[in-house]
Amino acid sequence: MDFQVVVLAGGASEKLAPLVSKEAPKALLPVANRPVLSYVLELLEASNLKDAIVVVEGEEAALRVGGWISSAYVDRLHVEVAAVPEDIGTAGALRAVAHHLTANDVLVVSGDLVSDVPPGAVAATHRRHGAAVTALLCPVPVSGPSDTGSSGGKDKAKKPIRCNIVGLDSTRQFLLHIASGAEVEKDIRVQKSILRAVGQMEIRADLMDAHMYAFKRTVLQDVLDRKETFHSIRQDVLPYLIRTQLRSEISTNEVSKYETGNGAVPSNKNLNWLSQHREIAPSSFQECYVSPSSAQLESPKSHKCCAYISSKSKYCARLNSVQAFNDINREVVGEASHLSGYYFSAQNNIIHPSAVLGSKTTVGPQCMVAEGSQLGDKCSVKRSVIGRHCRIGSNVKIVNSVVMDHVTIEDGCFIQGSVICSNVQLQERAVLKDCQVGAGYVVTSGSEHKSEALSKK
Amino acid sequence: MDHRRVPRAVIDPKVRQVLVVTPPIPRPSHPRPARLRRRPPLRPIPVPTPTLTLTLTSPLRRRRRDAALVPVGSYNPSEPLLGTPPMTSPSSRADADLNFSDDAPSPPWIGRTGGGKVASSFPGSSGEMMAAAKNLPKSDLTTASVVKTLPGVSETNKGALVEMQADGIGATGSQKQKTTKAERRAIQEAQRAAKAAAKEAGGVKSAAASTGEVLAASKQAKAVKSPSQKKDGPQVTAPVSSSEKKVGDRLPEKDRKKDVPHPRMQFDDINRVEKAKRRAVVNQSEARNRVELFRHLPQYEHGTQLPDLEAKFFHLDPLHPSVYKVGLQYLSGDIHGGNARCIAMLLAFREAINDYSTPPKKSLVRDLTAKVSSYVSFLIECRPLSISMGNAIRFLKNRIAKLPHTMSELEAKSSLQSDIDRFINEKIVLADKIIVRHAFAKIRDGDVLLTYGSSSVVEMMLVYAHEQGKQFRVVIVDSRPKLEGQALLHRLVKKGLNCTYTHINAVSYIMHEVTRVFLGASSILSNGTVYSRVGTACVAMVAHSFRVPVLICCEAYKFHERVQLDSICSNELGDPDVIAKVSGRKDLNHLSNCVDNENLQLLNLMYDVTPSDYVSMIITDYGMLPPTSVPVIVREYRREQLWI
């Protein structure tokens, strides 16, 4: 279908500080004991997209990601891994691989997306409108621990997440305004020209930019070439394209040239005529901005920025913070269990047959215990994910937490709302609440931590 | 049923031959072909004469014509198309010039020569026998002519044979009418008896007997005519019947492959719908409450197709992206209007042809035709084709079929692309310009022009007249649920035209002040009927009763030779929900909760038919003509289309 896929897998992000490191890049963070990148790759595979370029920040991380991909998807996917310098930003990463792009359109997906929205839907919307860029917008996920918010993470749960402020036209097909990051908190500045063309703009704060974009390749390359300073797609490229959609200097000439070059439509008159009739769009916005341009019709000085809004029934979340990491882990074994690809037992949990449970140990619903893990007596596990080959002593309570591989937890520990990375050792009677423990850390016996990020120096 | 009827209609000439030789038996056994032959004059498409003349052309070219015609199909009744292929066998024999080994590998029928090879490998058979066997497998019903040609004709000039066949048709045609009812009954009984006898004669034959009436007749002829041959019968017929069976099996398979779901498929036929569904790319669920009278038209739950198609975006590899895009745009309603849809489709095909490369061991002509057919079937699933699109597709397929074999792929592609460009330019763009000029001549200062809906040509004409400085006023009549007139109104007002906007309810009121009515059309049928957006008939009728001239602006490529008397048999159903809802009026929601009610059936017709009585004049690119002259244009235009 003439699409190329670029997966931006990132590197060692600061937001996920103790969880990721050079050894464990973000793309390989386990979500329900599978690297988060596998969710994107499998989503692509399900859509019959077998070729992808995965861009990773940092050489070492790229090696690790590449190694994992080649072992996991050896016959299934054709993935090329490209390493880019760190802190280059998403736009920079794309710039680095831009010369590999040849197809008409490029699908840019963030590697930390956990979703079941078919990429085909975004691509189809993009094609249908002949847009310069199409973004996937999804309803903001309900954040924070849903039912156990009583005990832990109160402040986080209560804070309403506002990721983006999005302006749409009345048919909800065209993207007219987007604010992200720090801009969200500032005043909204709406362009008059766009407002005049639309007549009516719908401003919504309950939508999130899911970081899956379909770009017209020529437009993307042009913007990246011209605007050297652009650092991020979300904060620079996309807002720029939306801002200039009615008076685009770059893309329009490019686009029209491309269309005439490729299509070689018979005559200029014909094109003229065509645009009159093919562009009768469903939205008043389109119509309005096509008709004035029909006066000087030869070069329609506009490009389209479209949005595909996923339905509420689809799951869509980005793993871009510790909080999100907790949420996603919980939801993938809970509400969005179809994503995990595991078979759930009658108790609505997944316990690998090779896991050993001591007597009077309970593993509640929406839990996962991976292969080779051992739990001692009288343990209790609720809404948590436990990785491979963990050794957990007796009388341990694990609630709302993620325990990665090869973790040793000694007797009498209590863990709540925390993330414990690989090879961590928790000595006896350690108590952790809402903590993140970096890989290889040793929590001394009897210590008590609350809302802390612990990691090895 | 379909494929059984087909061969019968087809082998007419040969059957006739038999009839001439053994008059008493088979004459009545083919009442169907005779009737079929008599029917054509009534039908819009003149089939029979070309088939006879074409018999003499080379088999390959015939095939291509068939291929081109089939999916054209769009609007041709299928019998003549399906019927033609077996005709090749006499023709190929005529060409073969007695050289049977040459004859065998004639490309389109390779499969069939298999039987011939089996037969020829018989060690002890005589030359004549060989010839017979070779002749046999060419079409399922050849047996009849074998019996005949064997003793006498096989050594004579084949050209003469064909002539004889042709003569035979005429002769039997007249003979057929002469036979009385009693005679026919006697013959039938004799036939039945013979059939039973044949069944007893050999188990092998009995299997073959099921293939059809004609076959039985031929066997019977054999039984009657050459009892001496009967001893060899089992030997000879064994390969024959097997090859016949093979052919019988293959024919429907082939149909299945190349026959896209017929645009005029009857959707009340459950079996066919099921079949079409299995083949379908777009997964769509049928609407539940459908109006009884319109069950034969496709109607789907709106809103189910688009997400499904979108989700499958990357799965549809064989589809060209541009075709896919156009299909999506049809489905979502982004492209509407006859001309726009047709142009979009042609441009998509043009791009697809540009990117096309013939796969190895295939010929461009046939592979590309199949490709285009698959594209068309996809587009049909997205939205039923308009008649104008059917014409354009027929044009394209014709051009593909007419490509000379010697042409290189690159040349062929560029020639096809320039053909498409020319079609768009000449038949649509230029045609519109001419129509605008013609229509402009009919506008005088002070006129009040009424138009309905949003027709692109009418809009161009109004704008042109305004630019030329005519002083007139426009009345735009609109109707729910599409309210297409509003967009037109918007554009016209912007251009500075003096407009009045009203809904169709008020048409009788507003008609008092109107001096001319200009309407667009989706298609014009050969009896002068105008097939257009629903509501057009109403406007035309009111105008007629007010003695206001009704002028239809329509490009000639939208003309079709079909005759349609009502808007029931062929139409398109829109989304029924849009008529139940009134946008912007939340208080008018009486229907909102009874949409699922069993007793409520919503009907949203898209087109209607305006009888020619209400049409004063049709303005086409060939000039202005009365509706009665449409057949002339159809005839002339078709010929030209073939020659372009």
Closest Cα in chain A to B316: A1
**Residues in A touching B347 (Cβ below 8 Å):** 263, 265
Give yes or no for B293 touching A (CB within 8 A): no
Interface of B with A in 392-431 (CB under 8 A): 421, 424-425, 429
Does residue A256 carry a pLDDT above 80? no
**Residues in B touching A277 (Cβ below 8 Å):** 337, 339-340, 343, 456
Q: For B387, what's the count of Cα atoms within 13 Å in the CB-facing half-sphere?
A: 26
CATH no. of A3-318: 3.90.550.10
pLDDT of residue B258: 43
Q: Which residues contact A27 (CB under 8 A, 6 or more apart)?
A: A9, A10, A35, A36, A37, A54, A56, A61, A65, A111, A112
Closest Cα in chain A to B349: A263
User: B375 vs chain A: nearest CA distance in angstroms?
Assistant: 14
For the segment B188-198, what is each residue's pLDDT rounded down to a tens digit? 877 887 777 66
How much is the mean pLDDT over chain A? 77
Give yes or no for A129 touching B (CB within 8 A): yes
Q: For B531, what's the count of Cα atoms within 13 Å in the CB-facing half-sphere?
A: 28
pLDDT of residue B485: 87
Residue of A285 and B474 predicted with greater confidence: B474
Of the candidates A48, A280, A287, which has its C-beta nearest B314's C-beta? A48
pLDDT of residue B50: 37
Q: Check CB contact under 8 Å for A118 and B311.
A: yes
Of the candidates B315, B325, B333, which has its C-beta nearest A48's C-beta? B315
The three-point CA angle B331-B335-B337 to 5° equals: 115
Model ipTM? 0.75
Give yes or no for B495 touching A (CB within 8 A): no
Give yes or no for B253 touching A (CB within 8 A): no
For the segment A22-48, what is each residue's pLDDT rounded down to a tens digit? 677 888 888 888 888 888 888 888 888
For the segment A345-365, what is each residue's pLDDT rounded down to a tens digit? 777 888 888 888 888 888 888
Is residue B10 within 8 Å of residue B32, measured between CB atoms?
no
Q: Check CB contact under 8 Å for A127 and B321.
A: yes
**Residues in B touching A136 (Cβ below 8 Å):** none
The side-by-side arrangement of strands in the sheet containing B607-610 is B559-560, B523-525, B530-533, B607-610
In order, the DSSP letters of A34-99 are: EEHHHHHHHHHHHTT--EEEEEEESHHHHHHHHHHHHHHSTTT-EEEEEEE-TT-HHHHHHHHHGG
Q: Check CB contact under 8 Å for A281 and B334.
A: yes
Of the candidates B317, B325, B425, which has its C-beta nearest A128's C-beta? B325
Looking at residues A337-347, what average pLDDT do you find? 77
Element housing A114 (H / E):
strand A113-115
Looking at residues A114-119, what average pLDDT do you find? 87
**Residues in A touching B453 (Cβ below 8 Å):** none
Does residue A283 carry a pLDDT above 60? no
The domains of chain A are located at: 3-318, 343-454
User: pLDDT over 90 for what percent of chain B?
Assistant: 19
pLDDT band for position A65 (cuts 50, 70, 90): confident
What's the token pair of residue B379? 């587009």
Give yes or no for A103 touching B (CB within 8 A): no
Range from A201-205, B31-35, B102-106 that averages highest in pLDDT: A201-205
Does residue B541 carry a pLDDT above 90? yes
pLDDT band for position B178 (cuts 50, 70, 90): low
Is residue B161 within 8 Å of residue B94, measured between CB atoms?
yes
Element housing B145 (H / E):
helix B143-149
**Residues in B touching A102 (Cβ below 8 Å):** none
Class of the A343-454 domain? Answer: mainly beta
**Full set of structural domains in chain B with CATH:** 2-258 (no CATH), 270-431 (1.20.120.420), 442-571+606-643 (3.40.50.10470)
For the segment B313-356, what is each residue's pLDDT rounded down to a tens digit? 777 667 888 888 888 888 887 777 888 888 889 989 998 998 88
Give strand ranges (E) for B383-471.
Answer: 447-452
| Alpha helices, H only, B550-589 | 577-580
How long a stretch of residues is chain B? 644
User: B342 vs chain A: nearest CA distance in angstroms?
Assistant: 10
User: B192 vs chain A: nearest CA distance in angstroms?
Assistant: 59
- Alpha carbon distance A384, A368 (integer Å): 7
pLDDT of residue B226: 44
Residue of A291 and B639 predicted with greater confidence: B639
Of the candidates B339, B350, B421, which has its C-beta nearest A277's C-beta? B339
Range from A150-159, A187-196, B382-391, B513-522 that averages highest in pLDDT: B513-522
User: A328 vs chain B: nearest CA distance in angstroms?
Assistant: 24
**Residues in A touching B309 (Cβ below 8 Å):** 124
Looking at residues B152-158, what average pLDDT do you find? 41
**Residues in A touching B456 (Cβ below 8 Å):** 276-277
Looking at residues A250-262, what average pLDDT do you find? 36
Q: Which residues contact B588 (CB under 8 A, 6 or more apart)?
A: B582
Does residue B256 carry a pLDDT above 90? no
- Widest CA span of chain A, in angstroms? 83
Q: Check CB contact under 8 Å for A1 and B340.
A: no
pLDDT of residue A359: 86
**Residues in B touching A306 (Cβ below 8 Å):** none
Q: Which residue has the tokens 């930003």?
A: A89
Looking at residues B609-614, what average pLDDT do you find? 92
For the segment B262-305, what is each residue's pLDDT rounded down to a tens digit? 555 666 677 777 777 666 666 666 666 677 778 777 777 666 66
What's the token pair of residue A306? 């479209």
pLDDT band for position B446 (cuts 50, 70, 90): very high
Looking at residues A378-404, what average pLDDT do you find? 89
Interface of A with B in 30-59 (CB under 8 A): 47-49
Q: For residue B368, count other CB atoms closer than 10 A to its CB.
A: 24
Count CB pairs under 8 A between chains A and B: 93
> How deeply is B592 buried, as exposed, middle or buried, from its count of CB atoms within 10 A (0-12, 13-18, 19+)?
exposed
**Residues in B touching A281 (Cβ below 8 Å):** 334
Give yes or no for A277 touching B (CB within 8 A): yes
Q: Which residues contact B496 (CB under 8 A, 6 or more apart)?
A: B466
Does residue B166 carry a pLDDT above 70? no
Residue of B319 and B17 predicted with greater confidence: B319
Mode of pairing for the β-strands spanning A113-115 and A316-318 = antiparallel
Does residue A202 carry a pLDDT above 70? yes
> How deeply is B290 buried, as exposed, middle or buried, from its count of CB atoms within 10 A (0-12, 13-18, 19+)?
buried
Q: Check CB contact under 8 Å for A47 and B313.
A: yes
Residue B568: φ, ψ to 5°: -90, -45
Q: Looking at residue B267, what DSSP letter applies?
A: T
Closest Cα in chain B to A275: B340
Of the candidates B313, B351, B424, which has its C-beta nearest A266's C-beta? B424
Closest Cα in chain A to B455: A277
Q: Which residue has the tokens 């291509």?
A: B64
For the segment A170-184, what is each residue's pLDDT rounded down to a tens digit? 778 888 888 877 777
pLDDT band for position A158 (cuts 50, 70, 90): very low
Element housing B560 (H / E):
strand B559-560
Residue of B221 and A142 predicted with greater confidence: A142
| B519: nearest Cα among B501, B532, B503 | B532
Looking at residues A289-303, what average pLDDT do you find? 44
Looking at residues A369-374, what average pLDDT do you find? 88
User: A153 vs chain B: nearest CA distance in angstroms?
Assistant: 37
> How deeply is B539 buried, as exposed, middle or buried, from its count of CB atoms within 10 A (0-12, 13-18, 19+)?
buried
Does residue B110 carry a pLDDT above 80? no
Q: For residue B311, count other CB atoms closer than 10 A to its CB.
A: 18
Of the candidates A123, A129, A269, which has its C-beta nearest B313's C-beta? A123
Give yes or no for A120 touching B (CB within 8 A): yes
Residue B68 CA, distance from chain mean position: 10
Give yes or no for B315 touching A (CB within 8 A): yes
- Alpha carbon distance B583, B251 (integer Å): 52
User: B298 vs chain A: nearest CA distance in angstroms?
Assistant: 24
The three-point CA angle A160-A162-A166 to 5° equals: 150
pLDDT of residue B289: 66
| B523: nearest Cα among B386, B430, B635, B394 | B386
Range in A250-259, B125-134, B465-474 with the lowest mean pLDDT: A250-259
The three-point CA angle B107-B56-B76 to 5° equals: 80
Of the candidates A125, A263, A291, which has its C-beta nearest B491's C-beta? A291
Q: Check CB contact under 8 Å for B424 and A129.
A: no
Q: For residue B392, count other CB atoms closer than 10 A to its CB.
A: 26
